[in-house]
A and B are shown apart, each in its own frame.
Chain A
């Protein structure tokens, strides 16, 4: 057996597993292999066809999704059927994590643009797992907290920037 070929196949096989994929997601970056294998049993792998909606604005969310393959469009529907696109998510990106801790309405809609495989982690499974496996779940929740904190920070920075811009343009208009 040529060691060169052997090596390639083993490498690829490793990378194709679900727990390797999960370890690449920032929320689960600090988990050990054992904890990743536990997480692997907790998530649901869902297949979406092209143009199939994942959820729509106002739905009560019950969990987050991670894009495994394919592409997901995040958008806000506007009047007369037009849509304002917020993001196009590629493999490894995740969305909907706000609904993981409490049931809140979705703030945007999500739709698969191509045939897409999503990995879902849902609140009810997490609540049950917290009771039986507190230690790995604490790490996952810390990761979630980190992600939410980062997003909040980004958001407040942008808001600051936006307010500054608005103030400046108002002052400019006043001068004119």
Chain B
């Protein structure tokens, strides 16, 4: 590349100049690209949750809007009347039932959480002491200290996050209805515009696959949210019969954690059981609470009634994928990611299954093959 016999000095100088410019511009483009992605990331940082919630709300309200549209009402007007209806019903419920004392409950919980956690730690310590008698090698694992550290960081996080999360909830209350209004009104137009970008050759296929996927997705999301709501209400009802405190918050935790299959319900009932153990002790009420959590909410209501009715088998995920989705979601978005990781994995699963199903049924040569791909 350098002083070869064919090159004059001027040519070599030009070559060096060109190479230097190329490298410099490459670095400039690379750094500016990373700046741009960085900017994008900062700009969209807080938007993920409101957009996701707005989409879920839009999926939930879509049948209602269709119902109004079916009656001959304009779609925009229908959405407005549904919003008005929800507002009026919410207001009415607040007037009748009274505003739930969330603030007081949160403050009391903040005071009580250390008590509950210290109880859990002593309980675990007793258990460990028992275990050490039988398996002496456990003594090396200083689990008690680990737990105490962990609980302290959790409490610190909760104390710090509470005012901020109140702000976030306030912004969600404005953003989610706004976004979901536009999703409800314009989703058809947006998806039509996107689909019309596909080339003619694949247009029909994309249109068909989109119709299948959107049908499956809407039933899946609607089913999951309704399932979680009913489980939460059942837990609330069951807990309200006992003297346990924080029944609404525990029901909320149980409902939200129910979105995660297999593992969610176990974690959803842990706080309730700890609080029951601390405040009520082991007695008939404790056994009733355990019964509400496991037998009534999970086995009877969820597994026997809700899942067969609401959730189609298409969206079943292998337990291994569930665990992977929880871990990856947790790495990306923390606790929120753990909860929504599995539904998002199911959504991806549904999309892949639908495309595969479409390709198999609509393959022009499919009549020459069996369902397992063997030639007839």
Contacts and interface: CB of A to CB of B under 8 A. Distances in A.
B299 interface: no
Contacts of A88: none
Taking residues whose C-beta sits less than 8 angstroms from the other chain, chain B's interface range is 10 to 19
Contacts, number: 49
A44 B200 contact: no
A69 to B, nearest CB: 16
Contacts of A44: 192, 196, 203, 207
Given A63-B204, A122-B207, A133 B69 contact: yes
A163 B369 CA distance: 36
A52 B201 CA distance: 9
B279 interface: no
A27 B54 CA distance: 39
B140 interface: no
Contact of B204 (A58, A61, A131): A61
Contacts of A54: 200
B362 interface: yes
Interface string B190-214: 0010001000110111011011000
A83 interface: no
**Which of A61, A62, A103, A128: most chain B Cβ within 10 A?**
A62
A62 B70 contact: no
B364 interface: yes
A127 B364 CA distance: 24
Nearest to A56: B364
Given A52-B200, A132-B66, A62 B207 contact: yes
Given A48-B200, A133-B69, A134-B70, A124 B364 contact: no
B200 A62 contact: no
Interface string A134-169: 100000000000000000000000000000000000
A63 B203 CA distance: 11
Given A59-B364, A60-B364, A128 B211 contact: yes
A24 B66 CA distance: 30
Interface of B: 66, 69-70, 192, 196, 200-201, 203-205, 207-208, 210-211, 361-362, 364
